[in-house]
Copies of this chain bind each other. A is one copy, B any other.
Amino acid sequence: MKALLTIALDAMGGDSAPRIVVRGANIARRRYPDVRFRLFGDERRIAPLLKRMPKLRRAIAIDHTEEVVTDDDKPSHALRQGKRSSMRLAINAVRDGEAEGVVSAGNTGALMAMAKFTLKTLPGIDRPAIAAVFPNYRSESVMLDLGANVECNADNLIQFAVMGSEFGRSVLGLENPSVGLLNVGTEEVKGHESVRQAAAILREDGAGIRYHGFVEGDDIAMGTVDVIVSDGFSGNIALKTIEGSVKLYSEFMRKAFKSSVSSRLGYLLARRSLNKMRARVDPRRYNGAMFLGLNGNVVKSHGSTDAFGFANAIGVAVDMAAHRFNEKITAQLDRGSLSMPVRTRAAAS
């Protein structure tokens, strides 16, 4: 039994919970027959959804609770008042070794606060970061932080670089992932002090990181590097800007294809190829932001995703658990990257 992976699911998080959580789990069950799920939430609402899913019923256990964290709850409030919430109990399962990862589509701030409090950060990591995988011209890359830390010093950025690099290696399967720092130009003098300081240290002492240099916003799509490191403010703005731009472009396309008889016909002829392309940039395919730097695998799904997107977020948690990402990070930090933050502090003072 313990050879199987178990993923804890916050069944009540997200716009269409628990429906998309249950359906997402059903898709994930087919993809990962060796994974078991623990659904935390209101059994009276979950059970009816399982009626026609006998196979899923055998792959899951339900932990009943009536409390939920809402999207409007402040993280501090959720932390104090939500001790019996579906979100918190799902995280507790990871802390207690009953699950190898947790997925929630609920309140991001509350999830981060609870995960930090319950699981603690890895030794050598001051602050966890939110990371996600993005498609690019070449293949795909991972970017962090996407919003957990609005202000970041050089130490934080270097720790993000260490984590991103290890993620590239162990989860994306890259031999020697390249790392870039997101900035407003590629010259050494550009940007905030924190990003220049982090660059100076990474240039001098990579400690297992293949440091590429500064990268700019368009390098994300170009795939200039495998790992893009940013403070959480600019990273979040880049993330949302990508989402917005892709949506706008798709919408303009949709209108263009509808605008005449000949373009409608053209669409029908090109549809298969276009759908393949669309699948490549489908945000649901890249659903599942990872909280890196915690003693446990925590994945945040988009609140408005569907079952397919939620299943992909589950896949991210499975990947992180299967590749033992946290153990590798810890080993990496033990091997010497741990010395880096100390050296940064010296340089900063």
List chain A positions with a Cβ less than 8 A from chain B. Answer: 135-137, 147, 150-151, 182, 184, 190-192, 216-222, 230, 232-234, 236-253, 255-257, 259-260, 262-263, 265-274, 276-277, 280-281
* Nearest CB of chain B from residue A256's CB, rounded to whole Å: 4
Q: Given A267-B266, A270-B256, are A137 and B248 neighbors across the interface (CB < 8 Å)? A: yes
Q: Are B232 and A256 in contact (CB under 8 A)?
A: no
* A236 / chain B contacts, CB cutoff of 8 Å: 184, 216-217
Q: Are A263 and B252 in contact (CB under 8 A)?
A: no
Q: Report which of B255, B268, B273 forms a contact with A257, defined as CB distance below 8 A.
A: B273
Once bound together, how far apart are the Cα atoms of A234 and B238, in whole Å? 8
* A219 / chain B contacts, CB cutoff of 8 Å: 240, 244
Q: How many copies does the complex hold?
A: 2
* Nearest CB of chain B from residue A39's CB, rounded to whole Å: 29
* A234 / chain B contacts, CB cutoff of 8 Å: 233-234, 237
* A276 / chain B contacts, CB cutoff of 8 Å: 256, 259
Q: Are A217 and B233 in contact (CB under 8 A)?
A: no
Q: Are B239 and A217 in contact (CB under 8 A)?
A: yes
Q: Are B151 and A192 in contact (CB under 8 A)?
A: yes
Q: Are B263 and A247 in contact (CB under 8 A)?
A: no
Once bound together, how far apart are the Cα atoms of A269 and B256, in whole Å? 12
13 A-B pairs, CB-CB below 8 angstroms?
Answer: A137-B248, A150-B190, A217-B240, A218-B240, A220-B241, A222-B248, A237-B237, A238-B241, A246-B249, A253-B274, A257-B273, A266-B268, A266-B269
* A218 / chain B contacts, CB cutoff of 8 Å: 240-241, 243-244, 247
Once bound together, how far apart are the Cα atoms of A242 and B243, in whole Å? 10
Once bound together, how far apart are the Cα atoms of A267 and B267, in whole Å? 8
Q: Are A244 and B217 in contact (CB under 8 A)?
A: yes
Once bound together, how far apart are the Cα atoms of A307 and B22, in whole Å? 56
* Nearest CB of chain B from residue A332's CB, rounded to whole Å: 28
Q: Are A222 and B238 in contact (CB under 8 A)?
A: no
Q: Given A182-B237, A252-B280, are A263 and B259 neighbors across the interface (CB < 8 Å)? A: no
Q: Report which of B230, B237, B244, B257 forms a contact with A221, defined as CB distance below 8 A.
A: B244
Nearest CB in chain B to that of A255: its residue: B277
Q: Given A269-B269, A270-B257, are A246 and B245 neighbors across the interface (CB < 8 Å)? A: yes
Q: Are A256 and B273 in contact (CB under 8 A)?
A: yes
Q: Are A192 and B233 in contact (CB under 8 A)?
A: yes
Q: Are A136 and B184 in contact (CB under 8 A)?
A: no
Once bound together, how far apart are the Cα atoms of A273 and B190, in whole Å? 41
* A230 / chain B contacts, CB cutoff of 8 Å: 237
* A136 / chain B contacts, CB cutoff of 8 Å: 248
* A184 / chain B contacts, CB cutoff of 8 Å: 147, 150, 232-233, 236-237
* Nearest CB of chain B from residue A150's CB, rounded to whole Å: 6
